[in-house]
Amino acid sequence: MKKAVNDIDRCVACGVCARQCPREAISIYKGCYAKVDFSKCVGCGLCEKACPAGSINVSEVGNVSK
Amino acid sequence: MSVNKKKHWYDYLWIWSIVYFALGFFNILFAWLGMIDFILPLIFATVGGNKWFCNHMCGRGQLFWVLGRNLKCSRRKPAPKWLSSKGFRYGFLIFFLTMFGTMVFQTYLVFSGAGTLRKAIKLFWTFRVPWQWAYNGSVFPDWVAQFGFGFYSLMLTSTLIGLIVMVLYKERTWCSFCPMGTMTQGICKIKAKKGMKENDIK
């Protein structure tokens, strides 16, 4: 399954991805990084297109239930 | 902004960043209002441990979005990786704070009488632009206006840098190395770590 995966080491926690997400699957965890709720994410890639740091990418994650 | 989302009053703060520069064009004392954008994010970070300001209230970020996405002024290409690397981000923060310190020192010189008020703004910390129409004296001492000119310079320069990277790369590329963003994220990370340790003890 394709999901938005965030590299929390690169993430600047600006929140652009969260604003873009049509499913409200992304939240900014304690001002540190963007956290993707895989149960809501549909892998549309809107966040990836908006991310200024290039830290969030849609990729194959396998069938993880997280 | 995406579909189906309720609009809030703070979604229109991009207007504020335009109004700010317009006000400072006519009277430099309005530059002081920019301190709100300096202090508010720090309060959010230190008290709330969040980046709610960046995430929802940053007028500058919103302006870049409006211009870059809605008005299609951005190439929307990924920025080079070093631009959002930790080294560059913290380096830029240090540079920015140093320049802020220099500006405060200039203000102090005028305050102490060692320097005189210069009715000009400095772009990119290099180019002096005459701005004498924006100040014709007031009830405040000269140093108040000097700070205004300095602070306005800082705000305008950083917005111009943001606009350049907006055109070249992603809409909000500025956010990836914004000194305020770096600072507030740093504070949040320290707070989050502390919180985790305290939970461990419990």
pLDDT tens digits along B172-188: 999 999 999 999 999 99
Average pLDDT over residues B129-142: 94
Spatial distance between the Cα atoms of B55 and B11, rounded to a whole number of angstroms: 10
Give CA B104 to chain center in angstroms. 16
The per-residue pLDDT for A65 is 54
The per-residue pLDDT for A62 is 79
Residue B202 has pLDDT above 70, yes or no: no
Q: Which of B170, B174, B192 sits opposite A30 (nearest CB)?
A: B192
Residue of A nearest to B174 (CA): A52
Average pLDDT over residues B30-45: 96
Q: Which of B45, B50, B55 sits opposite A18 (nearest CB)?
A: B55
Domain ranges of chain A: 2-60
pLDDT band of residue B196 (cuts 50, 70, 90) is: confident
Does B78 reach chain A within 8 Å, measured CB to CB?
yes
Please say whether the beta carbons of B23 and B135 come within 8 A. Answer: no
- B65 and A46 within 8 Å at the Cβ level: the answer is no
Spatial distance between the Cα atoms of A36 and A48, rounded to a whole number of angstroms: 12
Average pLDDT over residues B25-34: 96
The CA distance from B137 to the nearest CA of chain A, in Å, is 40
Provide, rounded to the nearest whole percent, the portion of chain B with pLDDT above 90.
Answer: 91
Provide, rounded to the nearest whole percent, the portion of chain B with pLDDT above 70.
Answer: 97
- A52 and B169 within 8 Å at the Cβ level: the answer is yes
pLDDT band of residue B3 (cuts 50, 70, 90) is: low
Rounded to two decimals, the pTM is 0.91
pLDDT band of residue B190 (cuts 50, 70, 90) is: very high
Residue A52 has pLDDT above 80, yes or no: yes
Instruction: State both tokens at B81.
Output: 């990786």
CATH number of the structural domain A2-60: 3.30.70.3270
Instruction: State both tokens at B178.
Output: 């914004």
Closest CA to B60 of A47, A51, A14, A29: A14
Q: Is the ipTM reported for this complex over the cut 0.95?
A: no
Size of interface A-B (CB pairs under 8 A): 96
Average of per-residue pLDDT values in chain B: 94
The per-residue pLDDT for B4 is 58
The per-residue pLDDT for B197 is 81
Residue A63 has pLDDT above 70, yes or no: no
Instruction: Write phi, then psi, for A53 (nearest 5 degrees).
Output: -100, -5
In the stretch 103-122 of chain B, residues with CB closer than 8 A to chain A read: none
Q: Which of A19, A33, A51 to mutate to test the interface with B (most CBs of B within 10 A)?
A: A19
Query: Could you report the per-residue pLDDT of A15-49, keeping only the tens digit for each?
Result: 999 999 999 999 999 999 999 999 999 999 999 99
The per-residue pLDDT for B199 is 76
pLDDT band of residue B6 (cuts 50, 70, 90) is: confident
pLDDT band of residue B195 (cuts 50, 70, 90) is: confident
The CA distance from A29 to the nearest CA of chain B, in Å, is 8
What is the torsion angle, in degrees rounded to the nearest 10, for the CA atoms of residue A27, residue A32, residue A38 and residue A42? 60
